[in-house]
Structure 1
Amino acid sequence: MRLHRNLVFAVIDGLNDIFENGQYADKVVEGLLKRDKRWGARDRAFIAETTYEMVRWKRLYSSIADVKQPFSREDLWRMFAVWAVLRGIRLPDWPQLKNTPTRRIKGKFEELSKIRKYKESIPDWLDQIGEQELGEVVWNKEISALNEQADVVLRTNTLKGSKQNLKKALKEIEIETDVVSGSKDALLLKERANVFKTELFKKGLFEVQDASSQLVAAFANPKPGNKVVDACAGAGGKTLHLAALMENQGQIIALDIYQNKLKELKRRARRAGAHNITTRWIENNKVIKKLHAKADIVLIDAPCSGLGVLKRNPDAKWKLTPEFIEKIKETQSKIIHDYSKMVKPGGNLIYATCSILPSENQSQIKKFLSTEPGKDFTFVDDRKILAHQTGFDGFYMAMLKKNN
């Protein structure tokens, strides 16, 4: 691989924004890719993939380069040199890369690769929590899997066509896909591509959604004619899937505390042709109280640490803190306590997170069932999805039935 100056400078600029200005990696990369219209697909892929790789391996690369935050631009260049040397890329004769100690880099890599927190490039506290909650054997496998690049997975919008027809239509525009075992509507891209620019996406024939995430709506098992509350709907990834499974029949009430997310959900629903969705902004408790004992299904896709989706959000491990995780667990408990009251007798409560920590998952369900509102519910089933077992995101989902 030959390094091009303008592309590498873009990566360095991006890393500075992420590490020193606290910006989110996905937004930074999105901005970088708009910098030069002359860049082709390979140029854009280099910028995106290299930036994400360096974010993912920040601790390992900075330790090998012997630099610490706050990073100067010189420090970032030293980290970039580590990335290049470890990938076997010949370094050009640029001033920023002069005197790179190639042999020392390789030796230091061998040394640090024997220590998990460096090898997997994670903070000390996260390494401790992971081992404590999952056990050493599972944590070793899981954190390694979460450091792999995320695949691009599509969810067929069955309101507008079948998976077979979508696969065929994608092939006609030279996008090859594979089916995903255990995920009814999912297609996996064989090679990365900007699917958002395709007419198929603009016409609403599919959404981009990880295979594990697609299992949540299916687990909820909504039927045409049901009244479903998606209580933490966000921008509506799972809401749209629920609408498709319900064949646009019945009612979905999408709730969220953020109006801007619900606005995005409405836009996506129009594109998807999902007509049975209404949105309600949770501006106060009255919104919840009006729905008490009204829903056949309440889906709580709860706010969480997001540790199951580190594949696609590698910067999260540098932004997360143990204090945040403790706080989010309190939020989860309150949400289950309050939102469970919307389930009618005989209805189902679905609790889901994109976390792999039992303290955010099984423990929350156990805790809820011991509370006063929880005594009205019976545990039905749960699923623990780990990245090292599936190759996709880590997720948890549980189903509770409200007693008649």
Structure 2
Amino acid sequence: MKLHTNTVHGVITAIDEIFHQNKYADKVIERTLRSNPKWGARDRGFIAESVYEMVRWWRLINEVSPSDDLYHLFGTYWLLQGQELPSWREFKGIDPRDVENRYQKIQERAILQSIPDWLDEMGANLLGDKWEKELDTLNQEAEVVLRVNTLKTTRENLMNRLAEDGIDTYTPTGYKDALVLAKRQNVFRNPAFKEGLFEVQDASSQLVAAALDVQPGMRVIDACAGAGGKALHLAALMENKGRILAMDTEAWKLQNAKLRARRDGVSIIEPKAIEGNKTIKRLKESADRLLLDVPCSGLGVLKRNPDTKWKLTPESIEKVQKIQEEILQNYPSMLKPGGIMVYATCSILPTENEMQIAKFLASEKGKDFELIEDKKVLAQESGFDGFYIAKLRKKESSTPQESETAPETE
């Protein structure tokens, strides 16, 4: 494959922003691709793929590169892809044989899999024999998965509609609303997307809304809604009948949810910012279903967000675990007795998943709940993102805390 100076420069500029200015890869790539309207689909694909792959293998590339010069790092990445380098002055000093020799000498798993040492140690301790294969899988490029908007079309009709536009898809087993692209391409410009016929949502993520067992007419709270992806799925499952309260502590995220709902033909989602504990208390025992898609480390989605592993620290994971615990202690009060709650993360770490649920159930507030089932989705087993989904029921006998309602006695 022939390299072109302007597209390689685009990759170099993006990498500089991601690692030297600490910006998020997806946003950087988006801006980079907008910076030159003359780039065609092939150019844009080359830039996006090269940036993501360099981010994914950043530690390994640095280990075998002759220097930390960004062009040397790109040239090393290009050689590791089995390609040949042109005789540009920017690549002077890179000897393919030296790169290969340095690569062959590496024995450490953390370097070969291109992750921080602390993360390799943590993963091995928590996942044991499954850790190495999970790393292999998470270092592969993510497939593009669509969720069919069943309010507007069927999976078969969408599949045929996309095929007419040259977009081939297949139906993965066990995911009734999912279509997987046979080949990566930008689907956001397709008329079917603009008409609200589908959303881009990983297959594992689609399991979350399904676990809530919603029915038309229910009152549902999505308490960590963000941009509203799972709330939109819930609305489709509810046939756009009932009410969904899409909540988040960051109100700006909910604006995107409103725009997406309009495009998808959804009218039952009501955005609501969480302004402290008062918001939660006002909604006490008001929901038939409660979704807690909590903040997490994101280690299950490294396929699509490879820069996550370079931004995480042991301290940041510990901090997010405390947030998860706080949410589990406070938010379940919004669920009616007899209602169902789903706790979900896009993490593969037991400390964010089943251990959090066990801690909650053993707590005073967790005694009103029972675990129905939980699902640990590893990327190596599903082929999609790593996820955790716990389904709990609030016991019918649960009553408000006496201290909140009983009058004081002398």
Match of 2:399 in 1: none
Q: Secondary structure at the match of 2:38?
A: coil
- Quote the Cα distance in structure 2 between the aligned partners of 1:387 and 1:134: 13
CA contact 2:113–2:139 (8 Å) conserved in 1: yes
CA contact 1:2–1:89 (8 Å) conserved in 2: no
TM superposition shift of 1:32: 1.0
TM superposition shift of 1:99: 2.8
- Quote the Cα distance in structure 2 between the aligned partners of 1:217 and 1:349: 11
| Structure 1 segment 280-291 matched on structure 2, within 5 A | 280-291=272-283
Match of 1:377 in 2: 369
Match of 1:82 in 2: 76
Q: What amino acid sits opposite 1:86 in the alignment?
A: L
CA contact 2:148–2:158 (8 Å) conserved in 1: yes
Q: Secondary structure at the match of 2:34?
A: coil
Residue of structure 1 aligned with 2:311, choices 316, 319, 331: 319
Residue of structure 2 aligned with 1:107, choices 82, 85, 101: 101
Match of 1:240 in 2: 232
Q: What amino acid sits opposite 1:148 in the alignment?
A: Q
Structure 2 segments unaligned to the other structure (5+ residues): 397-410
Superposition CA RMSD, Å: 0.9
Match of 1:28 in 2: 28
- Quote the Cα distance in structure 2 between the aligned partners of 1:36 and 1:204: 28
CA contact 1:253–1:279 (8 Å) conserved in 2: yes
Match of 1:278 in 2: 270
Match of 1:62 in 2: 62
Residue of structure 2 aligned with 1:117, choices 110, 113, 117: 110
Structure 1 segments unaligned to the other structure (5+ residues): none
- Quote the Cα distance in structure 1 between the aligned partners of 2:82 and 2:219: 57
Match of 1:261 in 2: 253
Q: What amino acid sits opposite 2:81 in the alignment?
A: R
C-alpha deviations, 1:96-125, integer Å up to 9, x for none?
Answer: 10131110111111222x321011100011
TM-score (structure 1 length as normaliser): 0.97
CA contact 2:66–2:94 (8 Å) conserved in 1: no
CA contact 1:297–1:343 (8 Å) conserved in 2: yes
| Structure 1 segment 176-215 matched on structure 2, within 5 A | 176-215=168-207
CA contact 1:84–1:91 (8 Å) conserved in 2: yes
- Quote the Cα distance in structure 2 between the aligned partners of 1:283 and 1:352: 22
Q: Displaced runs of 4+ in structure 1, greater than 6 A? A: none
C-alpha deviations, 1:122-157, integer Å up to 9, x for none?
Answer: 00110011001000x200000110011111000000
Q: Does 1:332 align with 2:292?
A: no
- Quote the Cα distance in structure 2 between the aligned partners of 1:317 and 1:284: 30
CA contact 1:81–1:100 (8 Å) conserved in 2: yes
CA contact 2:148–2:155 (8 Å) conserved in 1: yes
Q: Does 1:397 align with 2:398?
A: no
TM superposition shift of 1:267: 0.6
- Quote the Cα distance in structure 2 between the aligned partners of 1:277 and 1:31: 30
- Quote the Cα distance in structure 1 between the aligned partners of 2:7 and 2:370: 56
Match of 1:130 in 2: 123
Q: Does 1:347 align with 2:331?
A: no
Q: What amino acid sits opposite 1:92 in the alignment?
A: P
Q: Does 1:96 align with 2:90?
A: yes
Larger displacement relative to structure 2 (215-224 or 350-359)? 215-224
Q: Secondary structure at the match of 1:242?
A: helix
TM-score (structure 2 length as normaliser): 0.95
C-alpha deviations, 1:36-76, integer Å up to 9, x for none?
Answer: 21211111000000011001000000011154xxx5xxx21
Q: Secondary structure at the match of 2:245?
A: strand
Match of 1:359 in 2: 351
Q: What amino acid sits opposite 2:103 in the alignment?
A: F
Q: How many residues align?
A: 396
Q: What amino acid sits opposite 1:78 in the alignment?
A: H
Match of 1:12 in 2: 12
Q: Secondary structure at the match of 2:220?
A: strand
Larger displacement relative to structure 2 (34-43 or 209-218)? 34-43
TM superposition shift of 1:80: 1.1
Residue of structure 1 aligned with 2:301, choices 309, 314, 327: 309
TM superposition shift of 1:88: 2.3
Q: What amino acid sits opposite 1:63 in the alignment?
A: E
Q: Secondary structure at the match of 2:271?
A: strand
- Quote the Cα distance in structure 2 between the aligned partners of 1:341 and 1:229: 12
CA contact 1:85–1:102 (8 Å) conserved in 2: yes
- Quote the Cα distance in structure 1 between the aligned partners of 2:294 and 2:36: 39
- Quote the Cα distance in structure 1 between the aligned partners of 2:41 and 2:81: 21
Q: What amino acid sits opposite 2:380 in the alignment?
A: H
Match of 1:155 in 2: 147
C-alpha deviations, 1:167-217, integer Å up to 9, x for none?
Answer: 000001110000011111000001111110011001100000000000100
